[in-house]
Amino acid sequence: MAPLKGKLYQRLLLFAIFLPISGVLSFSELFFVKEPHDVTAMRKEAVILDCQARGEAPIDVRWLRNGARLVENERVYLLSNSSLFISEVESRRGDKSDEGCYQCLAQNKYGTILSQKAQLTIASMSSFALQPTPVVVTEGSVARFSCKISAHPPPIITWEFNRVTLPLSTDRITVLPSGVLQIQGVQRADAGHYRCIATNIASRRRSIEATLTVTPAPGPVLPQRPRIIAGPQNISVSLHQSAILECLATGNPRPLISWSRADSKSIDVYNTKVLGNGNLIITDIKPQHGGVYMCRATTPGTRNYTVASANVTVLAPPSFVEWPESLTRPRAGTARFVCQADGAPAPQITWFKNGEKVHSNGRIKMYHSKLVINQIILEDDAIYQCQAENALGSVLSMARLVVVMSEDRPSAPRNIRADTVSSSAILLAWERPQYNSDKVIAYSVHYMKAEGLNNEEYQVVIGNDTTRYIIDDLEPARNYTFYVVAYMPMGASRMSDHVFQHTLEDVPLRAPEISLTSRSPTDIQVSWQPLPMKLSRGRVSNYRLCYRTSSESAVSQIELPGEKTQHLLENLQPDTIYLLRLVAATSVGWGEQSAWTSHRTPKASGAQVPLAPELYLEPLNCTTISARWHLTPRNSASVRGYRLFYHEESQPESAPLQLQASAHKHTIEGLDPRKKYHVKLLAYSSVGDGYQADQTISTPGCVSVRDRLVPPPPPPHNVQARSNGSSAVFLHWGRPAFTSSHAVNYTVRCNPVGLQNASLVLYLQTGEQRLLVRDLEPNTKYEFAVRLHIDQLSSPWSPVVYHSTFPEAPTLPPSNIKVTLIEEDTALVSWKLPDEPNVAVTHYTILYASRNAWIAGKWQVLQREGSITMALLENLSPGQVYLVKVSASNDMGDGPFSNVVELAVRADLSTGHDSGLSRGSTQSTGFSDGFYHLDQKSMTGISVGVCIALSCIIICAFIIICRGKNRKLSAVKTYREGESTSAAAAMQAGPEGEVQNAEVAVPMMSRGHFIDAKGGTSLIINSNGPVQSTSDKKKKWSFFRSEGKQDRIIVQNKRNGSLSYLPGATVLTYEEELSPNHSTTLHNLLGRPGDAEGSSNSEGSHETGDSGRFSHDETELTNSGPNSRPPSLTEEDGGDLDCGGAPGEPSELLGGSPADLRLKESVEAGCSRQSGLSV
């Protein structure tokens, strides 16, 4: 019989071991590949919320909004990939608004899971909560304006001075992103009206105007101590955001601003910078940045200073420290899921079963971070999710419970009975199951407290050779519930009926802790806290208070009812030491008496001394006590400090601790566990010691290794992580200090923070104290823990270490780029993150340029931090079409630019340049909400215009070809003096500016083309301008030649840049036309030799000269001279024209052939003769 029983126990053990393993292996996963994320949208904008689940098909996906099932309609419906599409976001009140919290719910035959929550918010902007107010300051001091507005997304705050954008080119003016304007060293020119402008994608609001009045400074400027007029404020900042601490001070001389931390830690120099003249900005804030920051304004060269401080609280979304694991349990068994999460504020844990919230009942209990399911039934087979949520967000983790069923299970045990044996023991008895009782191999006894919620259930397994068991670790005077389950090799029976029984009362385990204070020299106030149930072991019916003086042996005693918690002893002797103790009793009898506690009554004196403080003691652990106190409001004496006494019971009193008057708490360390201590506190003044407060407290016991049945080895220590790229992290740790000859192995646990699917946790084995974890996701925060294994024992997991992999450079441009004209010369460009997972963006680059500047390759450049997704384009020129594109970058590199978005700026109608768009017109074909597009009417007009232009070109070409048949080749022609004189006089009659701008009035000379010397071709440049060599011409343009009967020449006038026809001059004409690559504008022909290429830089931006391709590493800046002028494009210029050429290069001879020299001499001779005639 014994061998058979041993085999049965072995089978049960193997079955218990196999169940959890088989459950993990057989778990058919259902998890999300994509989940929805928070999104901010404008009204009437289309929105897509992603949701893709993977698992065993078929998978049904539904959506919830604010916890209720979402009903689809023509405007809101599911896409083929299960994502939710909203064609036009509505912002109406009530249920018709699309704002809210969205979740998708995926279901297959194994269960249902919920996605993370996504908040859909409609962009908005409220009225100003704080408006700037008028300020009157003296010249040379500081001025400050502030405004505050609530908006989503957060707005960009700018300022206007006298309704003109405030220039920030001077160091005197500082604008904080929080909406504060600071002006240092105020000047008379600063007087005027100021207002702030708040802009986001939803709206643009202006505050009321506030006037800055500047008064003259007094004659002799007297020294002034530093004074902080705007100090830092307590703020709470979310993880990875920026914190702004303002510090504005005044004084004479101007004070110096410095920052420090109250905890004496150094300030992070990598994430911290000073803005303006003392404001502190902490970027990419992390938990270690939290604390108290102090701003100190100091007069230079002195010790005069003033300090202001503020607390920075770092808020963090929830992240899992321990997540539930999938389990396989037999029917009638018990399942325990554990889930722990960190965050600031502390997250709240909620459990879901197949997408529905779990509620406690008789079988299912939730306490702390655990979910316990007792007496498992078939309906408990489901997917369970743990949700950790705080104000910053929520995370979900899931696990599955697989319930194993078997046939021929025994029936439940019968006739269960419970009898009380003592105050801590109950006898439980039952009968064997009616069916299959011969197959029972063990019984499981389950018991728990019957009163209260979330009580933990205990279980004891006994053999099948008995049907009775004494549970002897119960608490006195408690009600308990019991049931029994029978086990066989293939499963468990149903649970038996429940039976309730209570334990007997017992005498109190110990006396209450007492607190003693005196209100006068002749009384002692005795107070105590009721004993907890574990110590009272029943209902306390009476208290006995005993007291005597230290010099007498006679003891006085008073019996008090069990409901009282204080008593006043009166008519005592002043300045006398009294000994007191208290004992409690139940219906069974009196408990153990406490040791004597001493207390000295105050002296009978007319001097007013401090009254006794109200003292509170609390054990922090088995060796530490926290003492807190405060003075009563009736205390009117001046306190100079405190004296704190403490000693172990039955030990002499030690010397007191001297504490400052500002102290209100103290930690007493180095105590012994399970000991009672007496603590005494008094306040003293210049008159003497005040009344004392006495209290007793006991330290709890420590859990030592001796208390454990099998002590595990200590975990590895000093675990450190270091990124080794975007997909690998290097770990190393220290071996704990213990001696063993056995080999030590380690298990490394790795998973992304906030992982939902526990089966995706990575476990790696190694025999060394280092490991390179590969194949990780870029820009993902991982958590690592290490445990060691030795001699079939495993240590606990080490403390979790968090580390993030490096990001990869963005591979996609920013998405959803929009450009909106919000003022006549100002546009707002907005965008969203690149549509790729785990992308990290440290800054954005915005390029914009007008069409003419784009052709010249000159882009204006703006850069914004990675947390900002908006920018203002200011000082735009009217009547221009601007091109805008955006790219994302991080520390690993730059991403590609987006497609170009066009924006048309309305022309200023007062100049008459835009006759098609009237100022009061509401119908426009060229503009719509600030965006440029072409409608049907515009396209029709353009098509007709193109057809007419093509017809004219064909007719002109036909005429030129016909006339070209009679053209003769000629080398030198002389104009008649009368004819050329009238032409030259007509060209020189107007002023210089009119000649330069009247390009269309000057006929192009097909034979006398002169091109820019920058093209690298062989040129001859004489005193009248450059002459091109015949080698740079192409014959394919010969059909554009004109008749050769009239020869002309273009002469550059260095004085006024005009064009002259010179009669009698000798020139050279050519048969072939210029190559289109060498074509040039009239402006290049008529420009001064000294003119140079250039462009003026706009404020806050710079230009590039790389034909529209911007490089983050180097940017060309072109500065214009006083006579510079941008090249203009005419109809003769080709689309591939190099606009970077300078028409006015110094004259030099580039061609060196003898024929060229002779040609140059003949031209110069003709010019000199003409010069003589003119004189």
Structure tokens at 824: 């006549």
For the cut 50, the answer to whether the pLDDT of residue 801 exceeds it is: yes
H/E element, 992:
helix 992-997
Question: By three-state DSSP, how is residue 191 classified?
Answer: coil
For the cut 70, the answer to whether the pLDDT of residue 987 exceeds it is: no
pLDDT, tens only, 120-150: 999 999 999 999 999 999 988 899 999 999 9
Average pLDDT over residues 809-832: 88
Residues linked to residue 395 through DSSP beta bridges, in sequence order: 388
The 3-state secondary structure of 3-60 reads HHHHHHHHHHHHHHHHHHHHHHHCCCCEEEEECCCCEEECCCCCEEECCEEEECCCCE
Confidence (pLDDT) at 387: 92
Average pLDDT over residues 1112-1135: 38
Confidence (pLDDT) at 939: 65
For the cut 50, the answer to whether the pLDDT of residue 183 exceeds it is: yes
For the cut 70, the answer to whether the pLDDT of residue 741 exceeds it is: no
Q: How far, CA to CA in Å, does 87 sit from each of 46, 91, 99, 817? A: 4, 13, 14, 18
Confidence of residue 611 (pLDDT cuts 50, 70, 90): confident
Confidence (pLDDT) at 284: 87
Confidence (pLDDT) at 795: 80
Confidence (pLDDT) at 1094: 36
- Provide the percentage of residues in the chain whose pLDDT is more than 70: 73
pLDDT, tens only, 44-93: 889 999 998 888 888 899 999 988 888 888 889 999 888 999 988 887 76
Listing DSSP states for 859-889 in one string gives -EEEEEETT--EEEE-SPPTT-EEEEEEEEE
Most confident stretch, 11-20, 205-214, 494-503: 205-214
Confidence (pLDDT) at 937: 54
Q: Which of 446-455, 723-732, 767-776 has the lowest mean pLDDT?
A: 446-455
pLDDT, tens only, 352-389: 999 889 887 768 888 778 898 887 888 889 999 999 99
Q: Which residue has the higher pLDDT, 145 or 459?
A: 145
Q: Could you tell me the sign of the dihedral formed by the alpha carbons of 1142, 1148, 1152, 1155, in that order?
A: positive
pLDDT, tens only, 1023-1038: 444 444 444 433 333 3
Confidence of residue 672 (pLDDT cuts 50, 70, 90): confident
Q: Which of 32-46, 280-294, 779-793 has the lowest mean pLDDT?
A: 779-793
Average pLDDT over residues 931-942: 55
CB 398 within 8 A of CB 758: yes
Confidence (pLDDT) at 314: 92
Integer Cα distance of 61 and 107 in angstroms = 6
Integer Cα distance of 380 and 403 in angstroms = 7
For the cut 70, the answer to whether the pLDDT of residue 843 exceeds it is: yes
Average pLDDT over residues 440-461: 80
Average pLDDT over residues 408-431: 86
Integer Cα distance of 126 and 133 in angstroms = 19
Confidence (pLDDT) at 337: 92
Confidence of residue 681 (pLDDT cuts 50, 70, 90): confident
CB 1058 within 8 A of CB 1091: no
Q: Which of 403-407, 831-835, 1065-1069 has the lowest mean pLDDT?
A: 1065-1069
Confidence (pLDDT) at 758: 59
CB 761 within 8 A of CB 819: no
Confidence (pLDDT) at 1140: 40
Confidence (pLDDT) at 623: 79
Q: What are phi and psi of 239, to 5 degrees?
A: -55, 135
Q: Across the chain, what does the average pLDDT equal? A: 75
Confidence of residue 849 (pLDDT cuts 50, 70, 90): very high
Average pLDDT over residues 672-681: 84
Confidence (pLDDT) at 883: 93
Structure tokens at 113: 């899971």
pLDDT, tens only, 943-975: 888 889 888 999 988 888 877 655 544 433 444
Integer Cα distance of 952 and 961 in angstroms = 14
For the cut 90, the answer to whether the pLDDT of residue 914 exceeds it is: no
Confidence (pLDDT) at 966: 53
Structure tokens at 684: 């003293």
Confidence (pLDDT) at 85: 92
For the cut 80, the answer to whether the pLDDT of residue 792 exceeds it is: no
pLDDT, tens only, 469-526: 988 888 888 889 998 888 877 667 777 888 999 888 888 888 888 888 888 888 888 8
Confidence (pLDDT) at 297: 92
- Provide the percentage of residues in the chain whose pLDDT is more than 90: 17
Confidence (pLDDT) at 429: 92
Confidence (pLDDT) at 821: 87
For the cut 50, the answer to whether the pLDDT of residue 571 exceeds it is: yes
Q: How far, CA to CA in Å, does 343 sit from each of 240, 754, 954? A: 14, 11, 76
Confidence (pLDDT) at 1081: 37
Confidence of residue 1125 (pLDDT cuts 50, 70, 90): very low
